[in-house]
Chains A and B, each alone.
Chain A
Amino acid sequence: QKEVEQDPGPLSVPEGAIVSLNCTYSNSAFQYFMWYRQYSRKGPELLMYTYSSGNKEDGRFTAQVDKSSKYISLFIRDSQPSDSATYLCAMLKETSGSRLTFGEGTQLTVNP
């Protein structure tokens, strides 16, 4: 079983839709939870990170962490064609030698 599970999609939505991206994990030792956006042929770009449970909002993006359910989400409001990319969740436990554990990535397309 993978430590982090993420539905690879692909996910296709119309412009303006609310997008929900999710990951589940099995290791309760994870402390930091991150979301990266990766455009084709580019390196991942950090969107948001949260520590432990709770919500964090940044513009059109909201990250949620529910440690009791081992479930994290990224919501994108008013989605735009420029949001079309692969979204990767990543998690960190400090005892892992600073190694990130990634989900498989979800490919998102926002259609104009």
Chain B
Amino acid sequence: GAVVSQHPSRVICKSGTSVKIECRSLDFQATTMFWYRQFPKQSLMLMATSNEGSKATYEQGVEKDKFLINHASLTLSTLTVTSAHPEDSSFYICSARERVGYTFGSGTRLTVV
């Protein structure tokens, strides 16, 4: 089946630094990828839709300058959390659609200290 690889699985960074998270579709091409954020014991919150070769579409309330998304190829999308602060600590998950099913990455737990 379709596989989405997400790295790193866990990252700890200092406040004020930037962190890049990668999401790759391994055996299919994904013109669209999705980035979610998940707080403990809560459902997934869609942050943005990443479109290959064009600008990402951000959900209301998500700062595009803080969460930079780049979808430079049909198999790779990246999310960069810029100038991270402790309130950005969360579980970030990417997803790509293959036919009807959406495949999710394994998630990245970001801790900002």
Interfacial residues, chain A to chain B (CB-CB below 8 A):
8, 32, 34, 36, 41-46, 49, 51, 88, 90, 92, 97-100, 102-105, 107
- Determine the distance from Cα of A104 to Cα of B45 in the docked complex, in whole angstroms: 10
- Determine the distance from Cα of A97 to Cα of B6 in the docked complex, in whole angstroms: 23
Distance of B27 from chain A, by nearest CB (Å): 15
How many A-B residue contacts, CB cutoff 8 Å?
A: 53
- When A44-B104, A46-B102 are in contact, do A88 and B46 touch as well, CB less than 8 Å? no
- When A51-B100, A99-B34 are in contact, do A43 and B6 touch as well, CB less than 8 Å? yes
- Determine the distance from Cα of A36 to Cα of B97 in the docked complex, in whole angstroms: 14
Main secondary structure of the interface of B (DSSP, over half): strand
Interface residues on B, range: 20 to 34
Contacts of A97 in B (CB 8 A): 49, 57
B69-77, B78-86, B105-113: which lies at the interface: B105-113
- Determine the distance from Cα of A99 to Cα of B60 in the docked complex, in whole angstroms: 14
12 A–B pairs (Cβ distance < 8 Å), ordered by A = A32-B100, A34-B101, A41-B91, A43-B105, A44-B44, A49-B101, A90-B102, A92-B100, A98-B97, A100-B95, A100-B102, A102-B43
Asked whether B32 is an interface residue with its Cβ less than 8 Å from the other chain, the reply is: yes
- Determine the distance from Cα of A97 to Cα of B93 in the docked complex, in whole angstroms: 19
Distance of B30 from chain A, by nearest CB (Å): 11
- Determine the distance from Cα of A90 to Cα of B102 in the docked complex, in whole angstroms: 10
Decide: B102 and A88 in contact? CB cutoff 8 A.
Answer: no
